[in-house]
Amino acid sequence: MPVPDSSEYAPYYGKYVALVPDVDVLAALRSQLAQTLALLRDIPEAEANKRHPPYTWSVKEVVGHLTDCERVMGYRALRFARGDATPLPGFDENDYARTAESDRRTLADHAAEFEAVRRSHVAFFAGLPEAAWSRKGTANNNEMTVRALAYVLVGHERHHAAILRRRLGKA
């Protein structure tokens, strides 16, 4: 499957799509899960509540954010893949992070939730008919294809995992 071109997503998402050059996006979704879980397993619980300046979110909040975005982008992909043309609203990730109260949960809980959501998306994307990948929908006043959403999921995780590795001295 070719990497989506810039007409398939809003400019904001270009930074995420660029992190997934010429790969099998389904294989990337699968393999990335193991990599993410390994990274999270290596973070001590005491470290997971820390905020490392200049970042304002704790490690747990970052993982909660990843899971929230998995859900939002996955829902968008479902709607678009099924031909639903109803425009979808945007969301404010900072509001989500603030109201989630992620620091009250264990990092292991966050990792398990991320794993469940990602496995669900792997199954969803793997089962799509070929025609569904190029279907478009509108979210936050921007058109996007299902294919672009899959690439954004992979790129978004890569972006945040790289930041976590730098923050934790694992880069």
When pLDDT is averaged across residues 59-71 and rounded to a whole number, the result is 98
When pLDDT is averaged across residues 76-87 and rounded to a whole number, the result is 97
- Cα 102 to Cα 5, 68, 112, 114, distances in angstroms: 35, 11, 13, 13
When pLDDT is averaged across residues 86-105 and rounded to a whole number, the result is 96
With a pLDDT cut of 70, the percent of the chain lying above it is 100
Instruction: Indicate the pLDDT class of residue 72, thresholds 50, 70 and 90.
Output: very high
Task: Please classify residue 28 by burial: count the beta carbons closer than 10 Å to its beta carbon, then call 0-12 exposed, 13-18 middle and 19+ buried.
Answer: buried
Instruction: Indicate the pLDDT class of residue 24, thresholds 50, 70 and 90.
Output: very high
Q: Which helix (H) or strand (E) holds 142?
A: strand 142-145
Mean pLDDT of the chain: 96
Per residue in 12-22, pLDDT (tens digit) is 999 999 999 87
Fold of 6-167: Four Helix Bundle (Hemerythrin (Met), subunit A) (1.20.120)
Q: What is the pTM of this model?
A: 0.96
Please list, residue by residue across 108-136, b when 16 or more beta carbons sit within 10 angstroms of its beta carbon and e when fewer do: eebbebbbebbeebbebbeebeeebbebb
Question: What was the pLDDT predicted at 148?
Answer: 98
